Structure 1
């Protein structure tokens, strides 16, 4: 049986519990103004190559928090290592930004990494637009020069396991929208016709060297326009 003193203490404790602040739930990320863009660099390169394109997109209204550069060891296997790491990176970008889908812009070897992710690694449901700048999408004979000791080079050779599987069936599967930009003077991707894909918006950029597509004004404008569609 509660005494008056005990009863008063119990009521006070109940009131204190009712008036205590409720812990706030973690706020969900606010939707971004644009779909986040994930850049995937090429062989023997790094995230720094995207400086010019990032600057162009920021000038067009993208926030720095909407632009992400995936960095990775370019000497590893596309299908066994790199595509899975890209998948985890994209998942983290989506978590941070609250976006359902991202856009992927890749250069050179990065095109194979990101295509494998889209086609075989679950990327169909996470990628809205995919862009390849000078990607060896059907392989490049240049890669034979380093294929003896480098797995990534082997993956880029014509007829490799990676190239064959990416070409099998639909080259541009799912609801993802695809675009390629290619040069007829590319010293790295041979033949030049390796870049365009069936089902993609394929844009010739004229006579540009392989890395020049990264900061060529017309190419950059084309990428920006494709992402806005």
Structure 2
């Protein structure tokens, strides 16, 4: 027991000696990465869209002080089921969190991007990793326009589809996520226009931009920017 105690004291002394020498030589010791001051943003485009749809919004957020590293956007094959796209959303969220050290991200979506990202939140354990979620012109309760296309994702956007019934069953805005929607009475793609509105969300009616024009609307940007602060 005496030998063990002596060795333990020697071990502590060596640790203190190394720490003192490190400080004296000015050698920096590794520090844990600081969490970002705000949530990074993931943009999710809609049906037949792409990452480039977010050029205006991305530029405005950069102008508002966000760094390029705090903003992510990606393109996906929009013909596949929204359930499969949701897996890509999950991977993008995980990658953005890993890159920035953020505990949570904000998600801003356009059109069908609202559906697959909601599926991620509700069914792929995304609720714990998203702070604010935004739907811009989203077919959250379907759109009649989808009756004219046959892609798996488009069929899922038809009013009354099995996918939408499952997605909207129970609480439409589950968890502690802050949900917000922006919809236009002049949206030629989302019919009825009010399809975007979600129970439990902050729902904002815009003036009269069209479906794609919502992406370059200054009032929509300003509202979304303030929402995700």
- After superposition, the C-alpha distances for 1:76-107 in whole angstroms (9 at most, x for unaligned) are 1012x111121111111111111000000000
In structure 2, runs of 5+ residues without a counterpart are 1-17, 19-27
Matches within 5 A, 1:209-228: 209-228=210-229
| Counterpart for residue 176 of structure 2 | 175
Matches within 5 A, 1:1-229: 29-79=33-83, 81-147=84-150, 150-228=151-229
| Secondary structure of residue in 1 paired with 2:165 | helix
Q: CA deviation at 1:32?
A: 2.4
Worse overlay, 28-37 or 163-172: 28-37
| TM-score normalised by structure 2 residue count | 0.85
CA separation in 2, counterparts of 1:190 and 1:183? 10
- Distance verdict in 2 for CA 1:99–1:145, change over 3 Å: same
CA separation in 2, counterparts of 1:181 and 1:191? 14
CA separation in 2, counterparts of 1:26 and 1:84? 34
- Distance verdict in 2 for CA 1:27–1:88, change over 3 Å: farther
Q: CA deviation at 1:173?
A: 0.2
| Counterpart for residue 8 of structure 2 | none
The count of aligned residue pairs is 204
CA separation in 1, counterparts of 2:171 and 2:200? 8
| TM-score normalised by structure 1 residue count | 0.85
| Secondary structure of residue in 2 paired with 1:202 | strand
Q: CA deviation at 1:43?
A: 0.7
